[in-house]
Structure 1
């Protein structure tokens, strides 16, 4: 008599679930991308070229406008180079902020960020990396400019080293805040040529319709009104007061508050703009 054999129950094997790599944390992404960008600073030619424009401006303006130091309304007992350099620090940081937006627009055009989108990288980390890179580059540029002014032009303000260091820090803070505004423009415009045009149209009136090169009292009446409401005037007056050893709370607070507001608004708009396909 045949015996029935028991058939073992069928078991369904579930395939192993594949773990998808979600990438590293946001701070690590920012750190890696910033380090990638900072490698460009190893090339001394880049620092020399970045110093060329502010050094030419310092040379020309210190010679062309130095007779203003003997006119009524100019601070008594202040050399024109001591009056001029804090303004050059602020305007140089402002011009460096423009390169943030131009560099981002260039990355958007040449396909670098398109490749980043295929990786588990948050696009916000690209913005912060670009901002920190430009902040470091601007700081190195301004330090070298300050040293060159002291060695070559006899820059020796009343505030001494501490006052000049405070003016330098203020200029870096102002430039970093404006950098976020230009990053927002670059994220939305995405065209290098348009970005450069818009940036120069915005920067040059701010530079020359201010207290950067001559006292406001020596300007025409309508230009005085523009200079008094120019946010760059607050930054220049604050940096100049710190360097000369006569700091004033109003311009310092106005410059820092304006920079903070621009940073918040600019970073929000830049984050929205860079997420667009």
Structure 2
């Protein structure tokens, strides 16, 4: 009976397909990503505080800043007369950005409690599945949070993008969220503990928000802040979504933002966000290769 029990336990740990074949490699990689993603989903379900906070905090910002600057002459610089329509796109990007910035917290808690060592010592075909599963989990969480903010914003009477513009909004949020997730996971691998991680999130979060065009257009800012906003990737994501919100249609040659370096159109913004996405992924890829791959 003991030998049968051991054989059964071993069969659970050993793949029931040949990982040396191409189909076996794909199946092993897919199973790893699926299992790690489900694990993160269960963690989010049991500890929904981050998900709920990611909805409540941007909602408070939307309500408070809309009321505070409702009489601002925003119509001089944008295609709307309501400040709430102007700030909605900034709050949406801020929601996705904050959610992605917290992506490294589950990983760093796993490190501190010893679960991460168990994952690394398990039968993983590739440890890059850790990054992909975290990205999928954050994209799902961001989708819930952003959808909630858009719905509440619509209930408050603010505009929502059309279907075509909505697809553009999803693409921009995907590129931004994936980039920040890779950055957050990189910090989770480098920093010694969650205290340092939370400190980095606090240092990164609000300064990047206030140095972007989330709350005010570039022309409202002093020259030094315009320089910071012009190199801030959040500004390009915000302006792209704002353009999608305030216009019925778009074209790749449509000018979206006029920075200190010149005018940037839709295609240019997508190229910039794609480049940032690639660079952040390569950074996390190199870190995994140097530290955790044999």
Q: Please classify the TM superposition score into its range, dividing by the shorter chain length.
A: 0.7 to 0.9
Equivalent of residue 85 in structure 1, options 84, 88, 101: 88
Which region of structure 1 is more displaced relative to structure 2, 113-122 or 179-188? 113-122
Q: 1:273 to 1:199 in 2, by over 3 A?
A: farther
Q: 1:81 to 1:261 in 2, by over 3 A?
A: same
Equivalent of residue 114 in structure 1, options 108, 113, 117: 117
1:60-99 maps to which residues of 2 (within 5 A)?
60-68=64-72, 70-71=73-74, 73-99=76-102
Which region of structure 1 is more displaced relative to structure 2, 70-79 or 191-200? 70-79
Equivalent in the alignment of 2:239:
237
Alignment TM-score, normalising by the size of structure 2: 0.77
Q: Distance in 2 between matches of 1:136 and 1:117?
A: 24
Q: Distance in 2 between matches of 1:169 and 1:131?
A: 15
Q: 1:210: how far off?
A: 1.2
Matched, 1:275 2:279: no
Matched, 1:189 2:157: no
Which region of structure 1 is more displaced relative to structure 2, 85-94 or 259-268? 259-268
The answer for unaligned runs of 5 or more in structure 2 is 1-9, 16-26, 251-255, 257-265
Deviations, residues 220-242 of structure 1 (Å, cap 9, x unaligned): 12111211122211111111112
The answer for unaligned runs of 5 or more in structure 1 is 1-17
Q: 1:77 to 1:118 in 2, by over 3 A?
A: closer
1:105-144 maps to which residues of 2 (within 5 A)?
105-121=108-124, 122-144=126-148
Equivalent in the alignment of 1:147:
151
Equivalent in the alignment of 2:168:
166
Equivalent in the alignment of 1:221:
223
Equivalent of residue 256 in structure 1, options 274, 280, 285: 274
Q: 1:229 to 1:168 in 2, by over 3 A?
A: same
Deviations, residues 153-194 of structure 1 (Å, cap 9, x unaligned): 21115x434424532441232012111011011011141110
Q: Which has the larger radius of gyration?
A: 1
Q: CA RMSD in A?
A: 2.7
Q: 1:81: how far off?
A: 1.8
Q: Distance in 2 between matches of 1:107 and 1:199?
A: 18
SS in 2 for 1:194: helix
SS in 1 for 2:190: helix
Q: 1:162 to 1:148 in 2, by over 3 A?
A: farther
Q: Distance in 2 between matches of 1:262 and 1:111?
A: 27
Which region of structure 1 is more displaced relative to structure 2, 85-94 or 38-47? 38-47
Deviations, residues 60-116 of structure 1 (Å, cap 9, x unaligned): 111112222x25742143422221111111111111112111221111111111222
Q: 1:203: how far off?
A: 2.4
Alignment TM-score, normalising by the size of structure 1: 0.82
Q: Distance in 1 between matches of 2:74 and 2:172?
A: 28
Q: 1:49 to 1:231 in 2, by over 3 A?
A: closer
Equivalent of residue 105 in structure 2, options 77, 95, 102: 102
The total of aligned residue pairs comes to 256
Matched, 1:179 2:184: no
For the 8 Å contact 1:188–1:274, the answer to whether it is kept is no
